[in-house]
Amino acid sequence: MEIFDYEDVQLIPNKCLIESRSQADPSITFGGHHFKIPVVPANMATVIDEQLATWMAEHDYFYIMHRFEPETRLPFVRKMAKKHLISSISVGVKPNEKQFIDDLTSEKLTPDFITIDVAHGHANSVIEMIHYIKKRLPKTFVIAGNVATPDAVRELEDAGADATKVGVGPGKVCITKLKTGFGTGGWQLAAVRWCAKAARKPIIADGGIRHNGDIAKSIRFGASMVMIGSLFAGHRQSPGHDIMINHRHFKQYYGSASENQKGGRKNVEGKDILVDYRGEISDTLTEMTEDLQSSISYAGGSDLMALKTVDYVIVRNTITNGD
């Protein structure tokens, strides 16, 4: 297998077929729903909250709510159903999560998307959870992760997952590689390609995106959707604390397995950082849309499909986490 990461790859332009970048269509159908771009903010407490999730649903962007305020999930799904907005939530694999699925079922609430969100997704606990959800909520689109190998993708797909999420350790606030020696940190894009070749259902590339162009690269190497944390954590709407240092504005961004999120030091695999304040999230989403339209034009097409077959070169750079 060839090993490379986002910073090692450049896509090669084809002749342009459109007259303006505005003619390029970066939208995607995922899980039976249509979204403006193939991008989803990470389901982390400093990246998404209910207010932002609602805004994203209202504006046809995909979102996944995090699972770290478990008691708010049922009322959230209820509220979104009442507003006829897409509901997309996360669960873990501990026993109380099965009770939560039962609570949804007994209220006849069917979330559009449920993401099983654990660090090591290639596990029987995840397979059991997929079975549990699919039996009770067969219409819900189930995303399972996170994984790093084709074997894991196939096993979760066989268990009934509708999509799998690829990326163990490439994240900006991730210390899994340092603490355990494992993961896809430094070769995340190659891992996406490796997994996508084996996949029969959509793949979400998760972690390691540092520039908007990395979204196009993810699509080129087989992702249908791209999950991003650090590039979304710095907005006015981001739930992390605002912090001023020497008149410079930052937002707090911490890992879901950080001491801060866990409230303790057991099995910590994430850290707490500050990211630059970036203003309105709508401006960033617009910029991502325009950059993707430009990528499509360089690919010589008019929609995301054009990106999937473009040629590329590998320009060897250092193996880091994309930093």
Ligand X SMILES: NC(=O)C1=CN([C@@H]2O[C@H](COP(=O)(O)OP(=O)(O)OC[C@H]3O[C@@H](n4cnc5c(N)ncnc54)[C@H](OP(=O)(O)O)[C@@H]3O)[C@@H](O)[C@H]2O)C=CC1
Ligand Y SMILES: Nc1nc2c(ncn2[C@@H]2O[C@H](COP(=O)(O)O)[C@@H](O)[C@H]2O)c(=O)[nH]1
Contact residues toward ligand X (CB under 6 A) are 92-94, 117-120, 125, 146, 167-169, 171, 174, 176, 207, 256-257, 267, 269
101 is in an annotated binding site: no
Beta bridge partners of 303: 25
220 is in an annotated binding site: yes
43 vs 204: CA distance, rounded Å: 13
211 is in an annotated binding site: yes
131 vs 35: CA distance, rounded Å: 27
Task: For ligand X, give the closer residue by CB, 256 or 295.
Answer: 256
Task: For ligand X, give the closer residue by CB, 174 or 219.
Answer: 174
Active site residue 195: no
**At its nearest, how many Å lie between ligand X and the CB of residue 165?**
8
Task: For ligand Y, give the closer residue by CB, 42 or 86.
Answer: 42
> Two tokens at 138?
């067969």
204 is in an annotated binding site: yes
Task: Report what 111 binds from ligand X, ligand Y, none; CB cut-off 5-8 Å by kind.
Answer: none
**At its nearest, how many Å lie between ligand Y and the CB of residue 313?**
24
Task: Find the catalytic residue in 93, 119, 142, 174.
Answer: 174
3-state SS, residue 99: helix
129 is in an annotated binding site: no
Place of tokens 């999560």: 97
Residue 73, sorted as left (phi over 0), alpha (psi -120 to 50) or beta, turns out to be alpha
**At its nearest, how many Å lie between ligand Y and the CB of residue 255?**
2
Quick check: 35 and 62 in contact, CB under 8 A?
Answer: yes
Task: Report what 212 binds from ligand X, ligand Y, none; CB cut-off 5-8 Å by kind.
Answer: none
**Phi/psi of residue 91, each to 5°?**
-135, 165
Task: For ligand X, give the closer residue by CB, 43 or 284.
Answer: 43
245 is in an annotated binding site: no
Task: For ligand X, give the closer residue by CB, 174 or 288.
Answer: 174
- DSSP states along 221-247: TT-SEEEESGGGTTBTT-SSPEEEETT
Task: Report what 117 binds from ligand Y, ligand X, none; CB cut-off 5-8 Å by kind.
Answer: ligand X
Which of 176, 167, 190, 158 has its CA nearest to residue 312? 190
Beta bridge partners of 226: 39, 205
Task: Report what 93 binds from ligand X, ligand Y, none; CB cut-off 5-8 Å by kind.
Answer: ligand X
List residues near ligand Y by CB under 6 A: 42, 44, 146, 167, 169, 171-174, 176, 206-209, 227-230, 255-258, 269-270
Task: For ligand X, give the closer residue by CB, 24 or 257.
Answer: 257
Task: Report what 56 binds from ligand X, ligand Y, none; CB cut-off 5-8 Å by kind.
Answer: none
208 is in an annotated binding site: yes
Quick check: 287 and 9 in contact, CB under 8 A?
Answer: no
Beta strand pairing call for 9-11 and 312-314: antiparallel
**At its nearest, how many Å lie between ligand Y and the CB of residue 227?**
5
3-state SS, residue 41: strand
**At its nearest, how many Å lie between ligand Y and the CB of residue 205?**
10
> Two tokens at 222?
């087989």
**Phi/psi of residue 89, each to 5°?**
-130, 170
Beta strand pairing call for 242-245 and 248-254: antiparallel
Task: Report what 92 binds from ligand X, ligand Y, none; CB cut-off 5-8 Å by kind.
Answer: ligand X
Which of 136, 60, 132 has its CA nearest to residue 95? 132
Positions annotated as catalytic residues are: 174
Residues that constitute the known binding site: 203-226
Residues that constitute the known binding site for NADP(+): 203-226
